[in-house]
Amino acid sequence: MSIPPPPSVAGRPVVLLRPAPQRTDRIFTPGALRLLHDRFTVVDLADDPSDEAFDAALPDAFAIIGQPDLPAGRLARAPRLRALLNVEGNFYPNVDYETCFRRGVHVLGCGPAYAQAVAEYALALALDLARGISREDRAFRAGRERYVSDGNADAVLLRGSDIGLVGFGNLGRALHPLLAPFRPTLRVYDPWLPPGALREYGVLPASLDETLARSRFVFVLATVTDDSRRLLGARELGLLPDGARLILVSRAPVVDFPALLSRVGDGRLLAAIDVWPEEPVAAEDPVRGLEGLVLSAHRAGGVPEAFHAVGDMVVDDLTLVASGLPPARMQAAARELVGRYRNRPVT
């Protein structure tokens, strides 16, 4: 199809800025925001985020920064659109992706910006589970500290351990080099990657059952699809060796929470959880008093450096696209996969 050139003001393509639930000042440093305004005509919809204001600006839009609803009818009112840049972190089923692909619109996500932060946090959680750091901190504060070896009866080393990764996308690939100094045996289950691709990273491709049954530590890093919902149910969790450590930092629906908490409550498993089926977790939820858990309030990726990386990626990739080049920093939506995601917005 014939695509009209992007409209501009003083030679600058029009970019609609509607980043909610993100905030402009959270994801853009002053310097990055200045570059965005220098290179583009920015229509900032923060003061009027209404659908009416958004629709009125659509016909001139070269790019959209945000994740608004974009069904086919709405996309038809944006004939000049070249890029949709999701700055929340998930591809939602609120966009007619097929229309975007057919029209050559770049659909980009900011997931890579969070990968390093989540990976470092996941490693920290694993070390906590290995050595009981936060548990013994609580005991010390309560006057129940145990000195020297008395507090180490269940301590294990990460070094040389069998470690399993469930999922090897942005998070798994960021975590992989952080684990390398511990010289683990690293097994990976990811049905979206062929064994040869995994071997190129120096990991062992494995089935889900093998990954779970042979791992002392398991990192759950998978996204949510219809196929991965409750991927780790009672049967799968039952494959874990007694005393195994599970670290959940991707999406809560991947795990059957009642089954997970039951196994933790029975003392067969230790777990660190950063994502929950319902957030915030209810004040009376018994999980708050369950021994064997390290609790975290969905904070693995949300550090200022990661948020600022989002803004830098947006400016860089918009500049490339406006120059007729492909984006290089954000994650491009895969036509074969984007319709499968079932992630929910992070509030």
Q: 74: Cβ–Cβ under 8 A, 6 or more apart, which residues?
A: 55, 58
Q: What is the pLDDT of residues 253-272, one digit of tens each?
A: 999 999 999 999 999 999 99
Q: What is the pLDDT of residues 142-170, one digit of tens each?
A: 999 999 999 999 999 999 999 999 999 99
Continuous H helices in 268-342 = 304-322
Per-residue pLDDT, 347: 59
CATH number of 8-110+304-340: 3.40.50.720
Q: Is the pTM of this model over 0.75?
A: yes
Q: CB-based burial of residue 337 (10 Å sphere; 0-12 exposed, 13-18 middle, 19+ buried)?
A: middle
Going by pLDDT thresholds of 50, 70 and 90, the confidence category of residue 227 is: confident
C-alpha–C-alpha distance, residues 129 and 316, integer Å? 39
Q: What is the pLDDT of residues 119-142, one digit of tens each?
A: 999 999 999 999 999 999 999 999
C-alpha–C-alpha distance, residues 270 and 156, integer Å? 12
Per-residue pLDDT, 11: 74
Q: Do domains 8-110+304-340 and 114-295 have the same CATH topology?
A: yes
C-alpha–C-alpha distance, residues 137 and 74, integer Å? 54
What is the largest distance, in Å, between two alpha-carbon atoms of the chain?
74
Per-residue pLDDT, 2: 40
Question: Is the pLDDT score of 39 beyond 90?
Answer: yes
Question: Is the pLDDT score of 342 beyond 80?
Answer: no
Architecture, CATH, for domain 114-295 = 3-Layer(aba) Sandwich (3.40)
Among 78, 5, 67, 18, residue whose Cα is nearest residue 44: 18
- Mean pLDDT for the stretch of residues 9-14: 77
Q: What is the pLDDT of residues 16-28, one digit of tens each?
A: 999 988 999 999 9
Question: Is the pLDDT score of 275 beyond 70?
Answer: yes
Q: What are the domain boundaries of the chain? A: 8-110+304-340, 114-295
Per-residue pLDDT, 10: 55
